[in-house]
Amino acid sequence: MKRAAKGKAPADGSKSQVVALILVLVVGSLGIHRFYLGYTTIGILQLLTLGGCGIWALIDLIRIATGDLGPADGSAYDPTL
């Protein structure tokens, strides 16, 4: 696996669990974290329903923190990010 230069995202499209957690905390009701992880359809649904009035965002927060909700392509989170 290639390592990215410091401060730059890796070229292989790896996702960071920390970035996903920050996104769900800051803009979870908009579903931006779902777009980041590659779940476009669910991201649009969350955007239209404001994260299920916040409930869906809370569930996603727990799932991302426990590692249950990962990138859509089935890859693991990049531990270096």
d(CA 73, CA 62): 20
The answer, as to whether pTM is greater than 0.85, is no
> In the 8-state DSSP scheme, what is residue 29?
G
Are 77 and 66 spatial neighbours (Cβ–Cβ below 8 Å)? no
- pLDDT tens-digit map of 2-59: 444 444 445 567 899 999 999 999 998 899 999 999 999 999 999 999 878 889 999 9
Distance CA 13, CA 25 (A): 22
**Per-residue confidence at 81, pLDDT binned at 50, 70, 90?**
low
- Tens digits of residue pLDDT in 64-74: 999 899 999 98
